[in-house]
Structure 1
Amino acid sequence: MSAESHPAESPDEELLGAEWPQVTTELTDPQRIDRISRELERAFGALADVRRGVTVFGSARLGPGTPEYETARELARKLATDARASVITGGGPGIMEAANRGAHEGTARSIGLLIDLPFETGANEYVELAVPFHYFFTRKVSFVRYSDAFVAMPGGFGTLDELFEVLCLVQTKKIRRYPVVLVGTAFWGGLVDWIHARLLADGLVSPGDEDLLTVTDDLDEVVRICCEACDLRSGESQ
């Protein structure tokens, strides 16, 4: 091993850095594919009976006592009681904990799709069903497959990554149109203005793409949108 090389520090680096001379790996491509397949198979089995799923994205850094935490907690409680939703999060602290907590208080299923990160230590205490993942992309597949609607609370790069992943899938018609709701007009307003002023005005997205997002501070509106989506998928609206 050269002085500049190092063993892969995570399954993601082992996979994505396999062609880099600085990363020493021991797996073959068939072994990597088998690991990915087993991770998806385990997740699909664990989540097979999830119905009326609503995923709540948001920052791990906004803890108890912050307005965002309390809003996420209240929203999830409303989703549980009024929309009869199973609440799905990343299972970590902050906004994720708040949403799992609200679901728990509303006696709904409280689900966490956990990612293996060095700075997060397992599921928050309010997760009823914890599903572990090594890979971000297998986790995203599971978020999308088992959700009827998506809610984004304030968050950083991870939240933005998850948000735009869903928007891209809907825009390109890889999935049917899911509601995507951004909670917090003060937080999200600048992003939405930029989408209109630059992406839409410069022709970088199509007219109507901006309507894939709903931005609101009204939690009852969020619940109504999510409930309608859950009803539609389950056939209860017919």
Structure 2
Amino acid sequence: MEAATASSGFGSGLGLARSSRRPSGRSPIRHSFPHPPCPASRSRLVRSGAPLTWSVVAAADPHQHQQQVELEGAPAICAAMEPERGSPREVREEITRCYELVSRLGRGAVYLGSSRVPATHPHFHQTAELAREIAKLLDCTTWTGAGPGLMDAANQGALEADKPVGGFKIGKEAGEWTTSNFHPYLPSESYHTCRFFSARKHGLVDAVVRNNATDKTTDKTVIVALPGGIGTLDEVFEIMALIQLERIGSTLPVPFVVMNYDSYYSKLLEFLNDCKDWGTVAPGEVASLWKVCNGNYEALDYLAQFYDVPAGERNFAISPPPKEHRTSYTMTI
């Protein structure tokens, strides 16, 4: 899932709505800019094909928490600016809604991956296959950021397995504007559109925490890191830190699987190995936090062993790779 910038993390752009005060009754004050006058995460704009000039219309009421952005030289197109966070209570309330969704749909497999991978890419098909088989193997809910790309592939795989799907959507995924807060095909009761990125992360973490100490065969969960960019790496390293600090897995361990499709993460793994020589990580530290897998069968076999799934229930609908093609990446730290 690619990271969207939290709208709560920015101020009010250039502060024009606050500083451009004017007596009522006068015409709006316009300020022209060659680029949008505010961070991209603070607005949702629709552009026509014609060259456009950005301008801000200052609010008549200086206390009004909205601005309008007009596009000159085009049909009347405008978008309301998202209001700033008014208090920490708003974030807490959204986190609560995320927790309630997890409680209703159940914990399970959380997928982190790129929103930019098209449906024609081999990694898309591999992800759909993996999500389908994990959903059947662990009999669990599949959780994603409810976005496009590999997140969508995981959703499709789980739906093919006829297992529940949940998600925490964000208004913007890397590389594209989302013009609607609604998912194109998931029912609205199966996902929550988050205003704050921190709430989205809380929801995804809560979806994998195992806390049923009386029966270790239930609440089977897994974190799956698929190929991704900045947002995915942000989530991957945050999950690593939470596991390292025993914020996740302190009661019951949670498997963390890194899918190294086509050696996608090999250079990152080499860097982490180098960190041992610099003394910034301890020997064996990183290897203890996750399992690096080069293919789907390897990941499924690892999860089946992790949860002691009986051999008769390991009915993977994929074939193991030929022995001559089996490779594994060995972490030395």
- The normalised TM-score by structure 1 is 0.81
- The answer as to 2:94 corresponding to 1:34 is no
Structure 1 residues 34 and 227, CA, compared in 2 at 3 Å: closer, same or farther?
A: farther
Structure 1 residues 82 and 228, CA, compared in 2 at 3 Å: closer, same or farther?
A: same
Q: Is the 8 A contact 1:77 1:106 kept in 2?
A: yes
Structure 1 residues 28 and 79, CA, compared in 2 at 3 Å: closer, same or farther?
A: closer
Aligned counterpart, 2:205 = 144
Structure 1 residues 11 and 83, CA, compared in 2 at 3 Å: closer, same or farther?
A: closer
Distance 2:293 2:84 in 1: 48
Aligned counterpart, 2:154 = 99
Q: Is the 8 A contact 2:115 2:150 kept in 1?
A: yes
The amino acid that maps onto 2:10 is: G
Aligned counterpart, 2:241 = 168
Aligned counterpart, 1:73 = 128
Deviation, structure 1 residue 67: 0.4
Classify the secondary structure of the residue corresponding to 1:80: helix
Deviation, structure 1 residue 221: 3.0
Q: Is the 8 A contact 1:97 1:126 kept in 2?
A: no
Q: Is the 8 A contact 2:98 2:202 kept in 1?
A: no
Q: Any stretches of 5+ residues in structure 2 without a counterpart?
A: 19-64, 66-82, 209-220, 310-333
Aligned counterpart, 1:184 = 260
Structure 1 residues 192 and 173, CA, compared in 2 at 3 Å: closer, same or farther?
A: same
Deviation, structure 1 residue 183: 0.9
Alignment length (residue pairs): 219
- The answer as to 2:99 corresponding to 1:44 is yes
The amino acid that maps onto 1:214 is: K
2:177 aligned residue (111, 119, 122): 119
Aligned counterpart, 1:85 = 140
- The normalised TM-score by structure 2 is 0.59
Structure 1 residues 96 and 163, CA, compared in 2 at 3 Å: closer, same or farther?
A: same
Structure 1 residues 224 and 46, CA, compared in 2 at 3 Å: closer, same or farther?
A: same
Larger mean CA deviation between 188-197 and 121-130 belongs to 121-130
Q: Highest relative contact order (Cα 8 Å, sep 6+), 1 or 2?
A: 1
Structure 1 residues 21 and 84, CA, compared in 2 at 3 Å: closer, same or farther?
A: closer
Classify the secondary structure of the residue corresponding to 1:144: helix
1:196 aligned residue (269, 273, 276): 273
Q: Is the 8 A contact 1:180 1:213 kept in 2?
A: yes
Aligned counterpart, 2:215 = none
The amino acid that maps onto 2:277 is: A
More helix by share: 1
Q: Any stretches of 5+ residues in structure 1 without a counterpart?
A: 1-9, 233-238
Distance 1:124 1:220 in 2: 31
Structure 1 residues 225 and 109, CA, compared in 2 at 3 Å: closer, same or farther?
A: farther
C-alpha distance after superposition, 1:120-170 (max 9, x if no partner): 344252567111111111111111111132111111111101111100111
Distance 1:160 1:113 in 2: 18
Deviation, structure 1 residue 225: 3.9
Deviation, structure 1 residue 229: 5.9
Distance 1:11 1:73 in 2: 27
Classify the secondary structure of the residue corresponding to 1:108: coil
Q: Percent sequence identity over matched residues? A: 26
Aligned counterpart, 1:215 = 292
Distance 1:214 1:98 in 2: 21
The amino acid that maps onto 1:141 is: H
Larger radius of gyration: 2
Distance 1:201 1:86 in 2: 40
